[in-house]
A and B are shown apart, each in its own frame.
Chain A
Amino acid sequence: MNKLKESGWHIILLAICLILLLPVVFMISNSFKTLQDSYHSMLQIIPMHPTVNNYTTLGRQVNLLRLIWNTFFMATIVTLGKIITGLLAAYAFKYFSFKGKRWVYLVFVSTIFVPFTVIMIPNYLVISKINLLNTAFGVALPQLCDATGIMLFLKAMDKIPNSLIESLEIDGISSHKILKDIVIPILRPSIISVGAIFFINSWNEYVWPTLILKDKSSFTLPLALQNYISSEGGTNFPLAMALSTIMIVVPLIIYLIFQRYILNSISSSGLK
């Protein structure tokens, strides 16, 4: 009976894995098909006439390195910004006592529930007023601080025993040294996993950069991809799949490098 139950679960999990993997396999497979084949037999996994033409064409049509660099640069700035501000704010909320701390924290956290569409236009107006339209910094600026980060880092800091910080205070260690030498090294797995999530979110970001970036030379990957699936960009489907495949490579590499930390912190959250 138990075995039956177990196999049942395995089948369900397998089905979920397939559902999750299918679009990725579909994307990679179609990126190696000719235009004709892709329309003719779109759902066929193994390409009939495998070709790397889509990739070489892409290389000729767009400056791939430039695109990857633009996206990487943006995502890195946003990620670093969110981590730095998040850590500093969380540290203050955790270890400093000041008037109205609870309220300030509540206000910060409540910003998580404000939908992006609500602040999109005010943000756009501000960025345009300070002449940052069409710049990477204009895209990054409103995203340098994120209440999600504050909340997650604060939760992670809860795992550090108070006595540790008190003992440092007794030894006359300043707050910035405590943060740099003790808190950050202890929180490293949390910082990396939160950072990875920030990075991937920013990497995939589409709507906000579309509003700010007009010049093709400053486009990020999602914006460039849009050119191949929009009405004006034509209908070269396998080309779009090739660009999509390129787009997931960098986050994949980052994940592979840091997977030890990411999995660790997911499975150990809640442990001391």
Chain B
Amino acid sequence: MGNKAALELNKVTKKYKRTDVISKMNLKVRNGEFLVLLGPSGCGKSTTLRMMAGLEKPSDGQILIDGKDAQKMTSYERNIAMVFQDYALYPNMTVYQNLEYALKVHKVRKNEREHRLKKIIATLDLAAYRDRLPGQLSGGQKQRVALGRGMAKKSRIFLLDEPLSNIDVQLREKARDEIQNLHEKNQQTIVYVTHDQLEAMALGDRIAIINEGKIQMIDTPDNIYNHPANLFVAKFVGTPQINILEIAYRKEQIYLKDKLLPLSVECLKKAALSDGKLHLGIRPEHVSVKREKRNATGLELPVKVEQVIDYGRYQQLLLNIGEEQNIKAITTNNEFKNGDLAYASFSEERILFFEYTSGINIES
């Protein structure tokens, strides 16, 4: 993976009637990288992608493609390929015609066309459908045709706007793997928009998490999950959601409301960086639940099991820790039922602390 930026956003702002949909966004997409833009709906991720494609003009700032100012180029001159959420296949043309159309218009020679399309049809396994109309295809097949149309152009940059959201859940994983395989094979630069965190985690070399028009964090899936930059990122990524407890740091101790939480020295050191109130975050899989008290030092909260969701492979527990606070835990023991009393402890090295007002991760 080269480090040269294939695509770059410099302080890009997009306004719709005075409201900033995107504000001063900086983003570098490296050559050959698979970058995922992840965020809730309406966060501006699609708008960002559309500005990259030249379908929307930024209100301010600069977009560079291969170091050149993209605003002076039309969508076509940017030499990008885009796959839309609804695939945008030409309904009056067969699969083959869909793949061929742009090449034909741009007078690519017949031999060359056939050669390219033959390869694409083989790669995407479309041979059986080449003479079908888009209306006769399933969502997954349509998506493959849309990908193929992008590939036919031989663009170096691929923009994908929620390409899997119209596909049945059962087929989604397969379609996701196909996209990943293609990327591994062709090493194109891909910018991929989704609101599905699992998709983002599975596909992205890096993930940019966007909320309210701003990038909250851009990093590898591992860092996003384990070292979230702020409360929003921590909450947005991971199912079930991370447990967030409002705590207070007083007299070198941590309190949950009035209850003392006996945490390790390392934890206290981190918490000491803030002043007073803060948020404690712990992911459900880092909460362990035992029936018996272990008599060990450290944090062990008496809890009551309020709800059990059995996923077969694991149980998701909703635990009441008193003070009208609930946390979620994941356990593979599959031994709990509603109303059970137990003890919960946290993997302390996994505890995250966030500043109370700004939500910034204290560690970072």
Contacts and interface: CB of A to CB of B under 8 A. Distances in A.
Chains A and B belong together in one complex: yes
Contact of A171 (B84, B91, B153): B153
Interface string B67-85: 0000000111100111011
Contacts of A161: 86, 88
Contacts of B85: 163
Contacts of A173: 101-102, 105
Contacts of A185: 92
A186 interface: yes
B92 A170 contact: no
Contacts, number: 54
Contacts of B149: 167, 171
A181 interface: yes
A172 B88 contact: no
A131 B190 CA distance: 64
Given A177-B105, A181-B101, A170 B86 contact: no
Contact of A169 (B75, B81, B92): B75
B92 A163 contact: no
A169 B54 CA distance: 10
A180 B153 CA distance: 22
B55 interface: yes
Contact of B55 (A164, A169, A186): A169
B106 interface: yes
A158 interface: no
Nearest to A170: B75
Nearest to A160: B91
Interface string A35-51: 00000000000000000
A250 B177 CA distance: 59
B90 interface: yes
B53 interface: yes
A163 B161 CA distance: 11
Contacts of A182: 90, 92
Contacts of B55: 166, 169-170
A166 B55 CA distance: 7
B76 A186 contact: no
Contacts of B92: 182, 185-186
A167 B153 CA distance: 12
Given A171-B153, A172-B74, A181-B101, A163 B91 contact: no
A167 B106 contact: no
A166 B54 CA distance: 10
Interface residues of A, number: 15
A178 B134 CA distance: 18
Interface in B34-86: 53-55, 74-77, 80-82, 84-86
Say which size band chain B's interface belongs to.
20 to 34
Q: Is chain A's interface secondary structure helix, strand, loop, or mixed overall?
A: helix
Contact of A167 (B74, B77, B84, B105): B84
Contacts of A163: 84-86, 88
B88 A167 contact: yes
Nearest to B152: A171
B107 to A, nearest CB: 11
A181 B88 CA distance: 15
A113 to B, nearest CB: 32
Given A171-B102, A171-B153, A166 B88 contact: yes
A185 B85 CA distance: 23
B98 to A, nearest CB: 10
A268 B86 CA distance: 21
A164 B105 contact: no
Interface in B148-180: 149, 153
Contacts of A164: 88, 90
Interface in A158-198: 161, 163-164, 166-167, 169-173, 177, 181-182, 185-186
Contact of A170 (B82, B90, B91, B105): B82
Most A C-beta atoms less than 10 A away, residue of B74, B88, B91, B102: B88
A140 B81 CA distance: 46
Interface string B99-112: 00110011000000
Nearest to A172: B76
A188 B210 CA distance: 42
Nearest to A185: B92
A67 to B, nearest CB: 39
Given A186-B91, A186-B92, A171 B76 contact: yes
A166 B78 CA distance: 14
B49 to A, nearest CB: 11
A189 B69 CA distance: 43
* Cβ-closest 6 pairs across A and B: A172-B76, A171-B102, A185-B92, A167-B88, A163-B84, A163-B88
Interface of B: 53-55, 74-77, 80-82, 84-86, 88, 90-92, 101-102, 105-106, 149, 153
Interface of A: 161, 163-164, 166-167, 169-173, 177, 181-182, 185-186
Given A182-B90, A186-B92, 19 more contacts: A161-B86, A161-B88, A163-B85, A164-B90, A166-B53, A166-B55, A167-B82, A169-B74, A169-B75, A170-B53, A170-B75, A171-B76, A171-B149, A172-B102, A173-B101, A173-B102, A173-B105, A177-B105, A186-B91
29 contacts: A161-B88, A163-B84, A163-B85, A163-B86, A163-B88, A164-B88, A164-B90, A166-B53, A166-B55, A166-B75, A167-B82, A167-B84, A167-B149, A169-B55, A170-B54, A170-B55, A170-B82, A171-B105, A171-B153, A172-B75, A172-B76, A172-B77, A172-B102, A172-B106, A173-B105, A181-B90, A181-B101, A186-B91, A186-B92
